[in-house]
A and B are shown apart, each in its own frame.
Chain A
């Protein structure tokens, strides 16, 4: 039930239009029942970003046209933690690049805070500071001589003063859990996991309202993965920043996200809470996306005659359920 406790924090009163100080307004919590949270269609939170019938095609005008996105629509609300799952080549990365207008759709559009971002004259540079996108292997984008300077790059670009930028950078580097000694080291001397933190901090320092992470754990060892995921999870405790976590690991997503979207061949297949989505275990199997390990364990237990609930996603849930079933 850990799940719902976390979510309640960002609920309720957020229906007021965004204000600059919204970040600090978070202390007043209202308690919404877990039940209501389950149903995202009745979610009272303010829509932050709306993707409206997005279609995108690669290699247009040649004989190798690929439809990477096929009529994808969804809404991201403030403070939501969304897991986006799909195979390699399912269109996940293409989709997230639409969210900050790096790619323009063939048809359809994206609204951010109610404004069409593909309209002529829309300030896309500003959008990119509001929708922070962390690419796959983000450490490959580091270029400055010190960690500190690199993290300052984003804030300076979006017009923060030097002092402001440095303050934000300092704060952010702390937030992602890098030790003080790192500040004036070259980012290239750090370990893989640390480099990735620096890169994430570089985006985070722009204080985005929506943070999109494309496979942030790719290529890391289990420990590094766990650390990065915990760090990402900790980010939502201090603000109403929405997070989209792109991944092909069901485990990661099941553990942290409040809502899961499954993309397959450029189409949105499922969209709902982890429990809803993973109840489609058969369909997920068919497209080759396994549900979390634990749901298989529970299914097999049930087959073996033990009366357990099969809709279980994490190890701790499974433990509680097995203990209950065994009395």
Chain B
């Protein structure tokens, strides 16, 4: 029922991208996101698309699977597109009442949408090829310097990994509770919005109770194993950069340089 949520879900496969150090993936994703925002230019975007396709092919994650993860931003896309089309000044194409659609607006809408899609697509590839644990490990390791200025880096990372770990558990739990209530004749589909909202009470109450119960159990289990924060804690699989990470960094540096070169010579589209 709710299994369609891909965000934050790991796709199991054996691939170069999966094996990369999570820090590498995190940094490269960040670089990629920046590359999308330096120039607004069709050539740069083509290059960005090519890079995305290359990475996706290497990752062995089916395109369809990643596209499913784009569904949640559908509304956002539509909203920004419409806003841009109608509220950008310039050459009028047609008008509805007093609101005018402009050529510049359409252009801007297209660029914004493409940018947004690339952005989510790119970060989806990262989360699909990296387990949440490794991802938070990477964040912890990359944010380490911040602990000098008294930011509880380990605690933040631990909270994040717990939160991420619990998403699939709670989704499963919700699925189970919904089924149990369906088996008792509950109806989540029919009726108006008020009735539909009300029909969720039999799901939400048990779900909250179970979330609290699990939190309690987890806290107890952590205490029983003498967890006391990050001090002196070592890892079973410490993160290490390998040759393929160097290669990945090189590729991304080349990509970034190409983006800057192309962007520099062709210039941004004026919006």
Residues of A whose CB lies within 8 Å of any CB of B are: 61-64, 97, 100, 102, 125, 128-129, 132-135, 138, 140-143, 153-154, 157-158, 188, 202-203, 206
Interface SS of chain B: helix, strand, loop or mixed?
helix
Bound Cα distance A194, B235 (Å):
44
Which residues of chain B are near A61, meaning CB under 8 Å? 62, 64-65
Please give, as numbers and ranges, the residues of chain A lying within 8 Å of B62 by CB-CB distance: 61-62
Residue B184 is within 8 A (CB to CB) of chain A in the complex: yes
Chain A contacts of B180 at CB under 8 A?
135, 138, 140-141
Give chain B nearest CB distance to A117 CB in angstroms. 14
Nearest CB of A to B27, in Å: 28
- In whole angstroms, how far apart are the Cα atoms of A202 and B180 in the complex? 11
Residue pair A102, B184 in contact (C-beta under 8 Å): no
Would you call B176 and A135 a contact (CB within 8 A)? Answer: yes
Closest 4 interchain pairs by CB? A157-B185, A143-B205, A141-B180, A154-B184
Bound together, the chains give a CA A240 to CA B156 distance in angstroms of: 58
B174 to chain A, nearest CB (A): 11
User: Closest approach, in angstroms, between the C-beta of B20 and any C-beta of chain A?
Assistant: 19
- Contact at A132–B64, with CB atoms within 8 Å? no
Measured in the bound complex, the distance between the Cα atoms of B183 and A134 in whole Å is 8
Contacting residues, chain A, for B187 (C-beta < 8 A): 125, 157
Tell me whether B46 is interfacial, beta carbon within 8 Å: no
- Nearest residue (CB) in A for B185 is A157
Q: List 5 A-B contacts (CB under 8 A).
A: A61-B64, A62-B65, A128-B184, A141-B177, A153-B202
Report chain A residues within 8 Å CB of B12.
63-64
Contact of B184 among A63, A97, A202 (CB under 8 A): A202
Q: How far is the CB of B179 from chain A (nearest CB, A)?
A: 5
Within 8 A of A (CB), among B220-243: none
Q: Pick the contact of A102: B177, B183, B202, B206 (CB < 8 A).
A: B183
CA distance A64 to B12 in the complex (A): 8
Interface residues of B (CB under 8 A from A): 11-13, 62, 64-65, 173, 176-177, 179-187, 201-202, 205-206, 209-210
Q: How far is the CB of B141 from chain A (nearest CB, A)?
A: 29
CB-defined contacts of B181 to chain A, threshold 8 Å: 141
Contact A154 B205 (CB under 8 A): no
Interface centre among B176, B180, B181 (most CB of A within 10 A): B180
Shortest beta-carbon distance from A103 to chain B in Å: 9
Contact of A203 with B183 in the complex, beta carbons under 8 Å: yes
Question: Contact at B183–A132, with CB atoms within 8 Å?
Answer: yes
Known: A63-B13, A64-B12. A157 touches B183 (CB 8 A): no
- Residues of chain A contacted by B183 (CB below 8 angstroms): 100, 102, 128, 132-135, 203
Q: Do B185 and A206 touch across chains, with their CB atoms under 8 A apart? A: yes
A157 to B64, CA, bound (A): 38
Q: State in angstroms the CA–CA spacing of A137 and B173 once bound together.
A: 12
A134 vs B187: C-alpha distance in the bound complex, in angstroms? 17
List chain A residues, Cβ under 8 A from B184.
Answer: 128, 141, 153-154, 157, 202-203, 206
Give chain A residues whose Cβ lies under 8 Å from the Cβ of B205: 143
The distance in angstroms between the C-alpha atoms of A142 and B203, with both chains bound, is 9
Q: Tell me the minimal C-beta distance from A132 to chain B in angstroms.
A: 7
Q: How far is the CB of B168 from chain A (nearest CB, A)?
A: 13
State the CA gap A61–B180 with chains docked (Å): 26
CB-defined contacts of A63 to chain B, threshold 8 Å: 12-13
Q: Does the CB pair B185–A143 fall under 8 Å?
A: no
Known contacts A125-B185, A128-B185, A141-B177, A62 near B11 by CB under 8 Å:
yes
Instruction: Tell me the nearest residue of chain B to A126, going by C-beta.
Output: B185
Distance to closest chain A CB from B208 (angstroms): 10
Task: Find the B residue at minimum CB distance from A101.
Answer: B182
Of A128, A141, A202, A206, the most chain B CB neighbours within 10 A belong to A141
Starting from the known contacts A133-B183, A154-B185, 10 additional A-B residue pairs (CB-CB under 8 Å) come to A61-B65, A62-B62, A125-B187, A135-B176, A140-B206, A141-B181, A143-B206, A153-B184, A157-B187, A206-B184
Q: Chain A nearest CB: distance from B136 CB in Å?
A: 23
* Chain A neighbourhood of B179, CB < 8 A: 97, 102, 135
User: In the docked arrangement, what's the CA distance between A129 and B187, Å?
Assistant: 12
Interface centre among A100, A157, A206, by most B CB within 10 Å?
A157
CA distance A129 to B64 in the complex (A): 38
A203 to B182, alpha carbons, bound, how many Å? 11
CB proximity of B15 to chain A, nearest CB, Å: 11
B194 to chain A, nearest CB (A): 17
How many angstroms from the CA of A188 to the CA of B65 in the assembled complex?
Answer: 41
